[in-house]
A and B are shown apart, each in its own frame.
Chain A
Amino acid sequence: MADSNKEISEYVTLVSNDDFEFEVLRSAACISGTMRKAFDPASGFKETTQNRMKFENINGVILEKVCEYLYYNQKWADAKNVPDMEIPPELCLELLMTADFLNC
């Protein structure tokens, strides 16, 4: 992805602390309050200009689950009787803390 893409790109890149990269839809990423602020075109942080955000405290496994959740959330946003998302119990606690961090 280009470094200085001033256009509002459709996709953004999320990077875990073990350097896994996830390309997700901007609209899905912005479900997270933290990411929304980071990618907000009105503010002038580096994330905004690069459309890339690195998480120093989230590993690839968790970040993958987060991306899954973001799409899951987007897909079922207005639906009822939604099937539960599959969460491996061992990730539970970590996911919880990440959710608080990401505000989603």
Chain B
Amino acid sequence: MIAGRGKQRIRPPRRGLASSAVDFDSIWSLLETAFRQIHTSNASQLLYEELYRHAYQVVLKKKGEELYSSVSRFEHEWLSEDVRSEIYAHYSPQMLPHTQALTTSTATERRMAGEKFLKGLKEAWSHHQVCMSMIADVCIYMDRTYCNDNRLPSIYTTAMNLFRDDILQSPITTNDNRPVLHLLNQVILDQIQMERDGDVIDKHLIKSCVYMLESLSESGDESKADRLYNVSFEVDYLETSRAFYSREADAVLRDTDAGTYCKHAGRRIYEEEDRCRSTLAESTMPKIQQVVEDELVRNKIVEVVDMDSGVWFMLDNDRFEELSLLYNLNARVDDRKSVVTRAVQQRIVALGDDINKAALAASQSAPAAPGDAAEKSKPSAQTNQQTAAAIKWVEDVLALKDKFDMVWKESFQQDNMMQTAMTRSFADFINSTNFPRTSEYISLFIDENMKKGIKGKTEAEIDTVLDKAIILLRYVQDKDLFERYYKKHLCRRLLMNKSISNEVEKQMISKMKIELGNNFTTKLEAMFKDMTISEELTASFKKHVEGLGDKDPRRIELGINVLTSMTWPLETMGSMDEGEGKQSAVFPVAVDRIKQGFEKFYNLKHSGRQLKWLANMGSADIKAVFPKVAQKDGSFKERRHELNVSTYAMIILILFNDVPTDQHLTFEEIHARTNIPKADLIRNLQSLAVAPKTRILIKEPMTKDVKPTDKFFFNEGFNGKFVKIKVGVVSSGNKVESDRERRETEKKNDNSRAFCVEAAIVRIMKQRKELAHSQLVMETLSQVAAQFKPEVSMIKKRIDSLIEREYLERIEGAKVDSYRYLA
């Protein structure tokens, strides 16, 4: 029999503590007086024990219901009579914005009036809360038993709801129909608007009104969804904000540039966040943000980005900060930042196209210049111009890349998606179909650097140059085309000893290996290997000849490069042209002897290999003696020169050894006696007889063109400034290809691509045995993607050809086009 400890309650019998007869009316009148005192802040003389005891007794006597309704009625009357009139005392028509036109109130007066109203309402509310908590304390026994048993809201809640009904939702006066709540919303909104316009308002006051709205709900149950704040104020707030920002966005856009707009929008978003924290409810934050973002960003971002002062302007003028703002705004409404990304991409492509066009224009302006003076200088000038265009192109592209990397770092927070998009744009214009020379230009850029550019640079600088080239290479789709050009250029560099440093060459290749894989560089590496082997071969042949013992002072020294025909792009050097290469040139006897000597020597070492002599690629150092002939400047002596000439030129010059000074050889004669291919012959004769500084032969008639009937004399009067003279062959440097050449390169490239594609198809089919057409195309594309990007039509053609050659067959009756592999 222990009472207490637990919460279980045992009702006492109806006698004892309370006197048996309870007169409700007298007790109620006592309580009512007390309540009135509480409401008028006069509670300090009231004894809680007494009030509680009375209320307790009433409830104990089953009069709970009566007490409950009496308290409710009392509160209702109190609120609607005393409190409402009090609120009305704080009301003044000045405080509402739309009445401003009628009265002459200033904004400050309006603000003051509004604040007064808010203050009155807030005080009434907090006073009501305090009083009700005291009254509820008195009636706590009723709450505990009667309200619990009958599932009624506690008297406190009921009184709060009464406040809602009798104050907030009833008209302000009998002849003014607007409910107080409506006025309250209007005033708060007006105050917020004032703050947006730069006024300082009483944030705490508003916040406490917001608390009030938050603690009251529409229907009386305490779910969050229909709090007065949410159903009434917040709706209005979002609506007016939307209208305001929509207007403001238009106005700001009209008056300022994109950068300012971004700053403004950023500030507004921040302000609204701050307002939710300090003035309104945090729960509104995502909603109002949504509104501001909608109006200031989502609806306007396209316009802002495309403005004259938009992304393009910012990019061109390095406005990193503004770009960053814009990027952040875009990021707010769109995870993928598609609008800004699109603009940046467009700008890259546009700038890239400009570079492409400039390069094309630069490379075409030279051939357009007519004139037949200085035949020799024109092609070289043209070569230079083309090469310069190529190098300029590469440098421009790199500069563009640097710029956008900078932008990416400074403004786009190194966003991955942005980087991918930018890379794609670079690849787009670099691989643009309007500009087919990318691979060639990049290779030329490397070539130029290998030959000249890296001279006098530190290792680190060289490294950056090479890395730049690799960066560009990364964008190139048709890697095989690049390989072809690079091989060609490398070949020239190696054979003509143009490369400054073998080390750097190797470094470049190892970089490419890392970037593009082993496959890509094997052939390039093989070329280097051939060069090393050839050096050893030359040395050992020299030793071999010395070992033979016949000390011939007139013996010719032979330096030789044995090149594996598969790895070296010999056809691009023009050696296999026109089938004429088969009938090799006739070498002078002395040269022919050593040539045969080497062949014998080589065959001893590697039997069964066939050597093909490529005279058009070789060079020779010859000593020439020019007899004593009167010079223009009057000197009269013998002159010795060491001439560095091409192999063909050497053959031609040696012919003249047997020709008396006054005799001549015609073109036809030379051709018949040397068997040099005509095209090469013409070029060599041009450099020997036409080029002003190396005019060792005299041509008759003296024109630029070499005709079959032209006669050639030995120029006894030749006088050079230096002992050593290099006779260049016309068009030997690496230069941009002519259109015809490029078409050929492309054709060759297409051929080799065809093989690649066929090989890929066969590999796939061998593995899969049967495959649908579309799948086959997809897999083939992915297999060769590392090297180049073939046209689908090309793959189709290759499939057809493979079917023709019975590697594959079509599967009859299959739903989709399918093929079967025929072993």
Contacts and interface: CB of A to CB of B under 8 A. Distances in A.
Interface of A: 33-34, 37-38, 40, 42-49, 53-57, 69, 73, 84-85, 87, 89, 92-101, 103-104
Interface string B1-44: 11111000111110011100000000000000000001001011
Contacts of B44: 44-46, 49
A58 to B, nearest CB: 8
B16 A37 contact: no
A56 B13 CA distance: 19
Contact of B4 (A43, A69, A93): A69
Contacts of A73: 4-5
A30 B3 CA distance: 17
B48 interface: yes
Contacts of A94: 16
Contacts of B294: none
A33 B17 CA distance: 18
Identify the interface centre among B4, B48, B50, B134: most chain A CB within 10 Å of its CB.
B4
B49 A43 contact: no
A38 B48 contact: yes
A96 B48 contact: no
Interface string B412-426: 000000000000000
A95 B140 CA distance: 20
A40 B134 CA distance: 10
Contacts of B17: 57, 97-98, 101
B4 A40 contact: no
Most buried by A among B10, B46, B49, B137: B49
B10 A43 contact: no
A99 B13 contact: no
A104 B4 contact: yes
B3 A96 contact: yes
A100 B9 contact: yes
A100 B10 contact: yes
Contact of B137 (A37, A54, A99): A37
Contacts of A100: 9-12
Contacts of B137: 37, 40, 43
A79 to B, nearest CB: 12
A52 to B, nearest CB: 10
Contacts of B130: 42
B144 A96 contact: no
Contact of A43 (B1, B12, B134): B134
Residue of A45, A54, A85, A104 with most partner-chain B CB within 10 A = A45
Given A45-B48, A53-B49, A56-B53, 5 more contacts: A37-B137, A73-B5, A96-B12, A99-B3, A100-B9
B666 interface: no
Contacts of B144: 103
Contacts of A104: 4
A46 B46 contact: yes
B458 interface: no
B133 interface: yes
Contacts of B49: 38, 47, 53-56
Cβ-closest 5 pairs across A and B: A97-B12, A45-B48, A37-B137, A99-B3, A38-B48
A95 B10 CA distance: 11
Given A44-B134, A100-B9, A38 B52 contact: yes
Which of A37, A49, A55, A87 gathers most chain B CB within 10 Å?
A37
Given A37-B48, A37-B140, A45-B44, A93 B53 contact: no
Contacts of B1: 87, 89, 92
A93 B52 contact: no
B1 to A, nearest CB: 5
A89 B2 CA distance: 10
Of listed B9, B17, B41, residue having the most chain A CB within 10 A: B17
18 contacts: A37-B48, A37-B52, A38-B48, A40-B137, A43-B48, A43-B134, A44-B41, A44-B43, A45-B48, A45-B51, A46-B44, A56-B49, A87-B3, A92-B1, A93-B13, A94-B16, A98-B3, A99-B9
B45 interface: yes
